[in-house]
């Protein structure tokens, strides 16, 4: 036991952008003792703030200040990291002061701060399995998401007995900023949100705790309202990339099956990442008859219409024109139906970014019908690929980055054993796929990982093709041309 851990953490707090100075050291030390208990602290395994905080959390368990559960550890960790974090007012002032230098200076500062105070769970994110695969659809990015911690069964059970507060309303509301957390709800003491104005409204800008790509950001409405893809959304997306020209930003679709997991709160996702779809070339151009806008069909498994122009307002006009036509458009020859029994099925996944002086707006057409043959969705991963991916195809997947479930890491380890003839416990749902790989490849222990990664990439390419409304075959592209011809 040694007090060095506490003293090192105090030094980190004073050196950080927190509100505390050397004169506040004794005060902060007593605040920490109040959280972890009086007495000696455990030795940290490293010098980083998260190493120091982990030792302080372990000390709190030794001192019986908290129980050794994931929920209580997370809450205390966030409380300690909050001591290193500026107050919201100071953070906003620091962000916008740096913005006057450049947008990148502001986002770089905010991003590094969110990593330093462990709001962005860098060590969790490092556990993810990430690789590229060259497929018929081009290069695709594959990730097996291991960053989010497993749900604590004890916390789930205990949460059932907790009173239902309804506060915060969801994990995207601004009321999460500084929220302590509770059983079954994440700790947010060290959470900060930058305020900005979009369309005359207050919006927030934050980073994702479990980032799926570089500088994964979230833009969220101050008002708790459902997501909606309309003129307002197109205008907001283009305004964001005007304010932050090094970032892309996009929105999940606003209908179930083809949308994201949080349709109840209006929000967008963005960041400093160039996705495969954004690099895909045009297959052909088409005429929209909107001044200042060029339009083309992207060579991509999903139906992506790319708009380009120097003036955002022109792109908004073009996007509204396409959206208005798509919402009511049907073509029975390719199973495209705008409505069944009065239920709307059509919407768009929009993505905005900059290319030099031009603004680019990609509009991916979506259809959320189901059928007896495809009860999960006609334009959704079909049953024969659901052993790899059965979840909704949201914004990130649309652009060519697979977010695959954590179960696949252990399952693929068993598939690997099966492919090289070792004893295994491979899940039966992978057998047909694995047998096909055996038949089409000469598999050895040296090449099995490469073959398996390529095969997963090929499945993801199929997943995107399943989600594509107008297929990349002669019939599908002729149907797309019929749709496009009616836009003029």
CB atoms within 10 A of CB 22: 10
406-420 pLDDT, tens digit each: 999 999 999 999 999
Residue 299's pLDDT band, with cuts at 50, 70 and 90, is very high
Residues 202 and 82 in one domain: no
Residues 370-388 have pLDDT tens digits of 999 999 999 999 999 999 9
pLDDT digit string, tens, across residues 406-457: 999 999 999 999 999 999 999 999 999 999 999 999 999 999 999 999 999 9
**Residue 172, pLDDT score:** 95
Say if residue 252's pLDDT is above 50.
yes
| pLDDT tens-place string over residues 189-239 | 999 999 999 999 999 999 999 999 999 999 999 999 999 999 999 999 999
- Residues 92, 31, single domain; the answer is yes
Give how far Cα 54 sits from Cα of 1, 26, 136, 187, Å. Answer: 14, 21, 46, 15
For 352-384, letters b (16+ CB in 10 Å) and e give: bbbeeeebbbbbbbbbbbeeeebebbbbbbbee
Q: Which of 98, 123, 148 is the last residue of a domain?
A: 123
Is residue 43 assigned to a domain? yes
Q: Which domain holds residue 77?
A: 4-123
Find the range with the poorest average confidence among 79-93, 182-196, 253-267.
253-267
Is 96 found in the same domain as 152? no
Closest C-alpha to 185, from 220, 213, 160: 160
Residues 159 and 188 in one domain: yes
- On whether both 185 and 104 belong to a single domain, the answer is no
Q: Is the pLDDT of residue 123 over 50?
A: yes
- Is residue 450 assigned to a domain? no
Q: How far apart are CA 396 and CA 53, in angstroms?
A: 33
Q: What is the structure's pLDDT at 162?
A: 63
The answer to whether residues 139 and 183 belong to one domain is: yes
Per-residue pLDDT at 259 exceeds 90: no
- Does 85 fall in a domain? yes
Reduced to 3 states, what is the DSSP secondary structure of residue 255?
Answer: coil
Domain count for the chain, please give it.
Answer: 2
434 in a structural domain: no
Tell me whether residue 289 is exposed, middle or buried, using C-beta atoms within 10 angstroms of its C-beta: 0 to 12, 13 to 18, 19 or more: exposed
Mean pLDDT of the chain: 95
Please tell me whether the peptide bond between 168 and the residue prior to it is cis, using omega within 30 degrees of 0.
yes
Structural domain includes residue 442: no
| pLDDT the model gives residue 1 | 40
Q: Tell me, yes or no, whether 140 and 116 share the same domain.
A: no
The rounded percent of the chain whose pLDDT value lies above 70 is 96
In this structure, what token pair is assigned to residue 353? 């970014």
Cα 105 to chain centroid, rounded? 23
Same domain assignment for residues 198 and 55: no
Q: Does the structure show a pLDDT above 60 at 92?
A: yes
Q: Which of 80, 101, 123 is the last residue of a domain?
A: 123
Query: What pLDDT does residue 451 have?
Result: 98
Confidence of residue 137 (pLDDT cuts 50, 70, 90): very high
Compute the distance between CA of residue 303 and CA of residue 464 in angstroms, rounded to an integer: 10
**Judgement on whether residues 280 and 203 belong to the same structural domain of the protein:** yes
CB neighbour burial string for 325-348, b if at least 16 within 10 angstroms, e if fewer? ebbebeeeebbbbbeeeeeebbbb
Looking at 123, 158, 183, the residue that finishes a domain is 123
| Prediction pTM value | 0.94
Clarify whether residues 188 and 235 are in a common domain.
yes
- In-domain check, residue 143: yes
Tell me: do 221 and 110 sit in the same domain: no
Answer yes or no: do 143 and 272 share one domain: yes
């Amino acid at each position: 036991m040694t007090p060095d851990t506490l003293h090192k953490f105090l030094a980190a707090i004073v050196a950080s952008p927190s509100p505390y100075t050397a004169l506040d050291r004794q005060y902060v030390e007593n605040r920490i003792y109040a959280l972890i208990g009086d007495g000696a602290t455990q030795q940290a395994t490293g010098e980083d703030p998260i190493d120091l905080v982990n030792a302080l959390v372990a000390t709190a368990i030794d001192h019986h200040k908290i129980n050794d559960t994931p929920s209580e550890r997370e809450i205390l960790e966030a409380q300690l990291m909050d001591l290193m974090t500026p107050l919201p007012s100071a953070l906003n002032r620091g962000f916008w002061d740096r913005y006057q230098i450049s947008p990148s200076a502001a986002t770089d500062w905010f991003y590094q701060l969110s990593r330093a105070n462990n709001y962005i769970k860098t060590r969790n994110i490092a556990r993810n399995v990430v690789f590229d695969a060259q497929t018929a659809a081009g290069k695709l990015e594959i990730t097996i998401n291991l960053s989010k911690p497993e749900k604590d069964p004890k916390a789930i059970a205990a949460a059932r007995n907790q009173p239902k507060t309804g506060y915060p309303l969801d994990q995207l509301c601004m009321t999460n900023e500084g929220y302590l957390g509770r059983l079954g709800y994440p700790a947010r003491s060290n959470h900060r949100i930058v305020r900005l104005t979009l369309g005359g409204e207050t919006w927030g800008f934050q980073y994702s705790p479990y980032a799926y790509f570089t500088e994964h950001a979230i833009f969220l409405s101050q008002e708790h309202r459902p997501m909606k893809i309309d003129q307002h959304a197109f205008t907001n997306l283009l305004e964001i990339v005007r304010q932050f020209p090094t970032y892309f930003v996009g929105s999940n679709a606003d209908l179930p099956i083809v949308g994201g997991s949080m349709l109840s709160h209006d929000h967008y996702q963005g960041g400093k990442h160039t996705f495969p779809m954004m690099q895909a070339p045009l297959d052909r151009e088409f005429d929209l008859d909107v001044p200042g806008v060029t339009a083309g069909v992207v060579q991509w498994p999903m139906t992506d219409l790319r708009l380009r122009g120097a003036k955002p307002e022109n792109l908004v006009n073009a996007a509204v024109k396409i959206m208005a036509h798509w919402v009511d458009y049907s073509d029975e020859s390719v199973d495209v139906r705008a409505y069944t029994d009065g239920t709307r099925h059509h919407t768009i996944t929009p993505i905005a970014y900059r290319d030099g002086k031009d603004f680019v707006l990609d509009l991916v057409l979506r259809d959320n019908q189901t059928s007896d043959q495809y009860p999960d969705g006609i334009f959704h991963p079909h049953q024969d690929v659901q052993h790899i991916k059965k979840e909704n195809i949201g914004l990130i997947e649309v652009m060519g980055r697979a977010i695959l479930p954590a179960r696949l890491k252990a399952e693929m380890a068993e598939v690997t054993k099966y492919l090289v003839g070792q004893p295994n416990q491979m899940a039966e749902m992978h057998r047909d796929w694995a047998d096909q790989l055996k038949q089409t490849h000469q598999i050895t222990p040296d090449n099995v990982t490469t073959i398996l990664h390529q095969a997963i990439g090929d499945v993801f390419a199929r997943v995107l093709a399943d989600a594509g409304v107008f297929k990349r075959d002669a019939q599908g592209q002729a149907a797309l041309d019929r749709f496009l011809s009616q836009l003029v």
